[in-house]
Structure 1
């Protein structure tokens, strides 16, 4: 029995206790009757005893229910359940004591030591203790690889129990190290014995030259005695080389039998220094290695390799390839290729064929060459080629690394770099475009002051103004993509945002699409702009509707919006190096549409990329979503399988000060009277914007002094009176607005300043370290400029 025994609780049942109480009360009443002779007094004494006993029993039942529930754990049932698991299972309590474990745990660790004090390799117990502390904190935590004797294992620790006061420890073989461990054990076991019977001495060598594993015949020849082992020792010390370059065992001396070493290359050697397999063949016994028995052993050995290995004969044809090689090369097992050149693109066929022919004719040192596989020619891979001797019909060994995960990470880095570069370009374009729109809108406003409704030109001017406002919306999308838009973040709950936009979504989706909304529990607050989050939900919902209509032209489908809490443990399970482990609130939007093809998935967030027909999409929808999420401090991921719909998951970090909400700005009633007085110093490098602003301010009663850059403004201040207000662009050549404003403040410390710019306020605030500064985003109308100037003067 591998569980800690727990003594059963000893107590009376309620019925027995009540009968005992009644019996004691009756005896006491008889004694009172005998002493006093009063039946009334004795009856009252009996009734009081019954009442007190009932009250005591009631209190005992109420107080003991929870206690019994808390301590009565059926560990026999728990162990029976643990016995059904294929992995080693152990359970510890809050004090770290082992309370239950299955037989596999006993077999794995040779008994029942309590985690984390287990016979693991260097640092293993410390790593396991760290995982245990993380599980108490997060509810679940992995341990990473742990070395136990000759195998590598991993552990997963989970907090459990009704009171969350226990830890479940699950141990299983590490997935990545299983094949290497199998090869290590196989060389020291049956496979090594069979290789020895065929005259093959084999050893697995670490990058530093130490022997990881060797078959018994090699250990016997190297040590000169049976039963010994050379594991952990330097392999080179057992060999010597004579003047002719022949290799022999050092123990046998120069009179010993010459050896023929055969090295099987591992693809990891190029970057990670992985182990290598060395086979030693006696020169005089070399023909034996060509026998059918040796060929079978070599075939088995190649299939166990944890890297992609293929054998090629002298004619350049494939003899064998293992599963890792076929997966790395994208080979269909039902239609295997005949020659190595069939794997690569047409331009690389000749180079591969020449290399195979060269190594088949005697080239010894392994060589690497970059090739492009036929199935995915856009990503070059490294093909390692080496000559093979004493391996039957095989003359050349090919090694190909499965770098799909590495390629995925490279694509992510390239995508992020490209998005950043395009974002900077988009932000610059939006800034210049905003200057042009400011001039157009300003002139429209000035012309409308001279025309009234009904004039022949009034409608035309209004049409120009309306189109300019539409263009301003496009620049806001560009700024959103480049993460340079002006946000108004608030502390909010995601379910509130979804509820606000649900009615709009029902109208957008139509009657044939079903909208399902569900919210998780214990959602943390997030800090974001609610208007921009609504735009994110709408953009994703519209794309989902189009995808479902493409799959079913007659309509139909389901759009699911779900919110849930995400802890650090789930973030670690996702395995993304981009998103740090923390507490997040997730927003998932999934559909039942056509899905997103895998070749398109990495490009969906690029600006102006769209799979819709010409005229039906701008390609800015998902790029805008990406920019809003990233500027809000969140992360967005897209998952899809063709034909099974797509799921977009947005992770927003939980706001630490969740109880404090950002107050809304008070609503200010607009005043029709925009007349003002005072002197305004206007600094703007764009002549068209400066002209519009100067005319607008002059019409509203201000005396305007204008300058084309910061240096000209400082020179102008030397010859004029003190201004009442400084209005300046932020980004200007030679001297920018903040630098010029600091010089002006040295002379006029209390001068109010109004900055205007086509960039976002959040981006510019980092470079503005001045007090009493207002901000006016471009493009702006004449009325907005007048209101901003009046407000800046009133707050001075």
Structure 2
């Protein structure tokens, strides 16, 4: 009878233990000095499928655990047993939807006789935590650069206003036939180009001037089609696929024009000297709150409802994964003559006009 009571107590304790292990996000296992599992919890991290019962006495190779985990795990287990100290490791693994980050702690367990025959491994999937940390870092970096860019652009713009005023006055006094007139005209052109650059910096920093009015995106694109064609080389074809009866959006027409031009210029540069096509598409869409939350955080408070989608596609060379991660970073460019402000300004303008960009 006493044995039955003890057996029942052990069974209850085992059930409580299994319930605790099943509800914690961590994965636990016990591994001996030969690398064989003595215990393994059911909630194995990631896409690893291991049966806790059949895993007893087997190594990671026999269980089909990925080598990038197993080999490094063996090294850290041996170190923990040798030094008597816990070893913490963070691993980046290839997942079906991008990298997966795994963190584990291997702790040696010392018995009363002083021997350390096994270790306890605690592992956790920290992918979401890593993504949140990277997003926070990126937001802080963008904010700092925005403040810096806005301050420089504001002061520089004041200097350009004075330069343009003085050179325009000098040109008016000299007259167009004066020998120095062409040189002054070039100086005015250079100052105007610099003014356009400061406007991009101000747009990126969020300190640009906005006049939001109901705007038909199709009309805006069609009215600027001539200007768009002028910016494209002969080897690039522009194709418009504009949905009829497109609803109006609340936008600043000047800033919206800048978004369209920057995206088209970027697409044209991606095509390069080969023959290619840029397709501009507009269509009404309905965004749910779930879809809005799936987009990267741009510091906006958007609500679910009807929106207009603008898509600019090109059949150029494309980008690798590392470049895609940085395309909206200010001053990042893959072009020798680029300034790296075009897409950064697009992102800032989208954030200012309550739009999503990606």
TM-score bracket relative to the smaller structure: 0.7 to 0.9
Rounded to whole Å, the distance in 1 between the matches of 2:43 and 2:162 is: 70
Rounded to whole Å, the distance in 2 between the matches of 1:278 and 1:354 is: 17
Q: Does 1:355 align with 2:80?
A: yes
1:221 matched residue in structure 2: 7
Q: Secondary structure at the match of 2:304?
A: coil
Aligned-residue offset at 1:385: 0.8
Point out the more displaced range, 528-537 or 496-505.
Answer: 496-505
1:438 matched residue in structure 2: 161
Tell me which of 582, 603, 606 is aligned to 2:304.
582
Aligned-residue offset at 1:428: 0.6
Q: Secondary structure at the match of 1:396?
A: strand
Q: Secondary structure at the match of 1:401?
A: strand
Rounded to whole Å, the distance in 2 between the matches of 1:564 and 1:425 is: 37
Aligned-residue offset at 1:478: 0.9
1:469 matched residue in structure 2: 192
Does the CA-based 8 Å contact 1:629-1:636 persist in structure 2? yes
Aligned-residue offset at 1:503: 4.6
Deviation per CA, 1:64-119: give whole Å up to 9, x if none: xxxxxxxxxxxxxxxxxxxxxxxxxxxxxxxxxxxxxxxxxxxxxxxxxxxxxxxx
Specify whether residues 541 and 575 from structure 1 end up closer, same or farther in structure 2 by C-alpha distance, changes over 3 A only.
closer
Unaligned runs of 5+ in 2: 51-57, 95-99, 111-116
Does the CA-based 8 Å contact 2:28-2:121 persist in structure 1? no
Does the CA-based 8 Å contact 1:521-1:565 persist in structure 2? no
Tell me which of 358, 361, 369 is aligned to 2:88.
369
Specify whether residues 622 and 276 from structure 1 end up closer, same or farther in structure 2 by C-alpha distance, changes over 3 A only.
closer
Rounded to whole Å, the distance in 2 between the matches of 1:458 and 1:436 is: 22
Aligned-residue offset at 1:430: 1.0
Aligned-residue offset at 1:449: 4.7
Deviation per CA, 1:105-151: give whole Å up to 9, x if none: xxxxxxxxxxxxxxxxxxxxxxxxxxxxxxxxxxxxxxxxxxxxxxx
Tell me which of 541, 544, 559 is aligned to 2:279.
559
1:319 matched residue in structure 2: 59
Say which structure is richer in helix. 2
Does the CA-based 8 Å contact 1:494-1:563 persist in structure 2? no
Q: Does 1:410 align with 2:133?
A: yes
Question: What does 1:724-735 align with in structure 2 at a 5 Å threshold?
Answer: none
Aligned-residue offset at 1:546: 2.6
Deviation per CA, 1:307-334: give whole Å up to 9, x if none: 26999xxxxxx931799974xxxx56xx
Deviation per CA, 1:413-443: give whole Å up to 9, x if none: 2112111111111111011112222232232
1:340 matched residue in structure 2: 73
Aligned-residue offset at 1:412: 1.9
1:307 matched residue in structure 2: 45
Specify whether residues 516 and 448 from structure 1 end up closer, same or farther in structure 2 by C-alpha distance, changes over 3 A only.
closer
Does the CA-based 8 Å contact 1:368-1:384 persist in structure 2? yes
Q: How many residues align?
A: 330
1:636 matched residue in structure 2: 357
Specify whether residues 398 and 608 from structure 1 end up closer, same or farther in structure 2 by C-alpha distance, changes over 3 A only.
same
Specify whether residues 458 and 322 from structure 1 end up closer, same or farther in structure 2 by C-alpha distance, changes over 3 A only.
farther
Aligned-residue offset at 1:609: 0.5
Does the CA-based 8 Å contact 2:288-2:304 persist in structure 1? yes
Q: Secondary structure at the match of 2:134?
A: helix
Rounded to whole Å, the distance in 2 between the matches of 1:221 and 1:384 is: 32
Question: What does 1:368-517 align with in structure 2 at a 5 Å threshold?
Answer: 369=88, 371=90, 382-387=103-108, 395-506=118-229, 508-509=231-232, 513=236, 515-517=238-240
Rounded to whole Å, the distance in 1 between the matches of 2:15 and 2:90 is: 37
Specify whether residues 607 and 277 from structure 1 end up closer, same or farther in structure 2 by C-alpha distance, changes over 3 A only.
closer
Rounded to whole Å, the distance in 1 between the matches of 2:5 and 2:333 is: 64
Aligned-residue offset at 1:296: 9.1
Does the CA-based 8 Å contact 1:629-1:635 persist in structure 2? yes
Could you state the TM-score of these two structures normalised by the residue count of structure 1?
0.36
Deviation per CA, 1:196-233: give whole Å up to 9, x if none: xxxxxxxxxxxxxxxxxxxxx99981348xxx867986
Rounded to whole Å, the distance in 1 between the matches of 2:216 and 2:45 is: 49
Deviation per CA, 1:739-775: give whole Å up to 9, x if none: xxxxxxxxxxxxxxxxxxxxxxxxxxxxxxxxxxxxx
Deviation per CA, 1:138-166: give whole Å up to 9, x if none: xxxxxxxxxxxxxxxxxxxxxxxxxxxxx
Does the CA-based 8 Å contact 2:27-2:124 persist in structure 1? no
Rounded to whole Å, the distance in 1 between the matches of 2:79 and 2:350 is: 52
Does the CA-based 8 Å contact 1:513-1:559 persist in structure 2? no
| Higher-Rg member (1/2) | 1
Q: Secondary structure at the match of 1:636?
A: coil
Rounded to whole Å, the distance in 1 between the matches of 2:294 and 2:281 is: 20
Deviation per CA, 1:347-382: give whole Å up to 9, x if none: xxxx875335345xxx7xxx463557699xxx9974
Could you state the TM-score of these two structures normalised by the residue count of structure 2?
0.72
Specify whether residues 467 and 562 from structure 1 end up closer, same or farther in structure 2 by C-alpha distance, changes over 3 A only.
same
Does the CA-based 8 Å contact 1:561-1:588 persist in structure 2? yes
- Higher RCO (C-alpha under 8 Å, 6+ residues apart): 2
Unaligned runs of 5+ in 1: 1-216, 236-262, 280-289, 312-317, 343-350, 638-796
Specify whether residues 278 and 454 from structure 1 end up closer, same or farther in structure 2 by C-alpha distance, changes over 3 A only.
closer
Does the CA-based 8 Å contact 2:267-2:278 persist in structure 1? no
Rounded to whole Å, the distance in 2 between the matches of 1:480 and 1:370 is: 42
Does the CA-based 8 Å contact 2:27-2:44 persist in structure 1? no
Q: Secondary structure at the match of 1:386?
A: strand
Specify whether residues 514 and 454 from structure 1 end up closer, same or farther in structure 2 by C-alpha distance, changes over 3 A only.
closer
Q: Secondary structure at the match of 1:586?
A: strand
Q: Does 1:602 align with 2:322?
A: no
Tell me which of 303, 321, 341 is aligned to 1:620.
341
Q: Does 1:544 align with 2:280?
A: no
Aligned-residue offset at 1:491: 0.7
2:256 matched residue in structure 1: 533
Tell me which of 315, 339, 342 is aligned to 1:592.
315
Q: What's the C-alpha RMSD, in Å, of the aligned pairs? A: 4.5
Rounded to whole Å, the distance in 2 between the matches of 1:218 and 1:560 is: 77
Rounded to whole Å, the distance in 1 between the matches of 2:317 and 2:258 is: 23
